[in-house]
Amino acid sequence: MSRFNADNLIVAESIIRRYPVAKSALIPLLHLAQEQDGYVADDAMAHIAELVGVTPAEVVGTCTFYEMFKRHPVGTYVVNICTNISCLVLGGEELLHHAEKSLGVRAGGTTDDGLFTLEDVECIAACTEAPCLQVNYRYRYRLTTDDFDELIDGLRTGRITDVPHHGVLARIRQQIADDRLAGVVAPELATEAPVWLAASDAGGAGS
């Protein structure tokens, strides 16, 4: 349950500055909140509302549309098993069923130790490598049930170290040095043709 901490507030403000209209930063900021807390807390949404100048109701409206945002705490590792068509025909549902038994939770549930949340998800774009899954959005391909158990064991024992906690998506952020930024202008103010177009054949494709 928290607003952005000081470091993340700086990140949040730099994200907002990249958009001609602040509300566009809403989804990236929700990700930032989830990275901070592992889920999207109500206070974080209220903070985001303040930062982008909308109501908290609008933030929660956007937040709940997207399934990656969790409004309540989930496991350290969210295990998303794909059961969509390409995985289905190669054992995706059987893999999920195995996972349910081996973790002792139904899809959508979280293990008692708070380590794993299991989800039955739609296509994650690794169809040629079926059946596949993601742990905190890191892929694992062509899994057997043994592979799955080994993965869980590796995460549980800390042997696997390349999967960050839930909420951390890209660990590299876009950085734009001030002197390299072309410039962000509110749409109602950028009413002129860009210089390179105006300088060339203004009657061409761009006009």
Partner 1 sequence: MTDAPTKPDAIDVTLNGVTFEAEPGELLIDACERNGVYIPRFCYHPRMTPVGMCRMCLVEVDTGRGAALQPSCMLTCTPGMTVQTESELTKKAQDGVLEFLLINHPLDCPVCDKGGECPLQDQTMSYGPGESRFVEQKRHFEKPIPVNENVYLDRERCILCDRCTRFASEVAGDPLIHFQDRGSNTQVNTFPDEPFASYFSGNTVQICPVGALTAKPYRFKARPWDLEEVISTYPNPMGDRISVQSSRDKVLRIQGVDSDATNWGWLTDRDRFSFEAIHHPERLTVPLVHGDDLGNADAAGDNLVAASWAVALQQAGAVITAALDKGGPDAVGVLGGARLSNEAQYAWAKLAKSVIGTDNVDAQLDDGLPAAMVASYPRRTLNDALAPGSAVVLMSEDPKEQFGTLYLRLRHALQKRDITLVELNPTASGLGRLTTVGLHPRPGETGVVARALVDAVAGALPTADVGGVSAAAISAAATAVHGRPVTVVCGRASLAESASPTIDAAAALRELPGAAFLFALRRGNSHGAIDMGLAPGLLPGRVGLGATPEGWAAAPTVTGLDARGMLEAAVDGDLSVLVLVGSDPLADFPDADLASRALTTCDTVIAVDLFANLSVASADIVFPAAGFAETAGTHTNFEGRVSPLTRKVTAPGVARPDWVIASDLAFELGADLGFDSVESVFDEIVTVAPSHAGLSFADVAADNDGALVRGPTALDFGAPEPTAVVPLDGYSLRLVTDHRLYDNATLVQHCPSMANLADVAQLSLHPLDADRLGAGAGSLVTVISAAGSIELPVRPDPAVPRGSGVIPLNRSGADPRELIDHRAVVTDIRVASS
Partner 2 sequence: MTPNTHHTANTPGWVDVDGPHIVTSRFGFDDSFTLARFEATGGYAGLRAALDRTPADVHTEVREASLLGRGGAGFPAGVKWGFCPPAVWPRYLVVNGDESEPGTYKDRLLMQRDPHQLIEGSLIACYALGLSQCFLYVRGEMALAQERIATALNEAYAAGYVGKNILGTDFSVDIILHWGAGAYIVGEETALIESLEGNRGMPRLKPPFFPAAIGLYGKPTIVNNVETLANLPWILLNGATEYKKFGSDTSPGTRLFAVSGHVARPGVYEIEHGVTTFRELIYGERFCQGIRDGHELKMFIPGGASAPWFFPEQLDLPLEAKPVGAAGSMLGSGAIVVMDDTTDAVRACLRVVRFFARESCGKCTPCREGTTWEETVLRRILDGKGRSADIDMLLDIGDNISPGPYPVAANEAEGQTAVPFPPRQTTICPLGPSSVAPITSAIRRFRSEFEAKIVLPETIPVAAAVHPATSELAAAAHGEGGHR
Q: By CB under 8 A, what part of segment 61-80 binds partner 1?
A: 61, 64-65, 67
Strands (E), 26-97: 77-82
Binding segment for partner 1 among 20-28, 59-67, 91-99, 134-142 (CB under 8 A)? 59-67
* Site for partner 1, residues 32 to 51, rule: CB under 8 A: 42, 45-46
Cis ω for the linkage preceding 131 (within 30 of 0): yes
Cis ω for the linkage preceding 20 (within 30 of 0): no
Q: Is position 28 an interface residue for partner 2 (rule: CB under 8 A)?
A: yes
For partner 1, which is the closer residue by CB, 57 or 172? 57
Q: Token pair of 58, please?
A: 């609008």
For partner 2, which is the closer residue by CB, 43 or 58? 58
The residue count for the chain: 207
Q: Is position 106 an interface residue for partner 2 (rule: CB under 8 A)?
A: yes
* Site for partner 2, residues 31 to 90, rule: CB under 8 A: 31, 52, 54, 61-62, 65-69, 80-81, 83-86, 88-90
- Out of 13, 50, 122, 153, the only residue in the binding site for partner 2 (CB under 8 A) is 122
In sequence order, the β-bridge partners of residue 78 are: 117
Q: Is position 57 an interface residue for partner 1 (rule: CB under 8 A)?
A: yes
Q: Is position 126 an interface residue for partner 2 (rule: CB under 8 A)?
A: yes
In sequence order, the β-bridge partners of residue 116 are: 77
In sequence order, the β-bridge partners of residue 134 are: 80, 139
What is the C-alpha end-to-end distance of the chain, expressed in Å? 51
Q: Token pair of 2, please?
A: 């928290």
Q: Is position 129 an interface residue for partner 2 (rule: CB under 8 A)?
A: yes
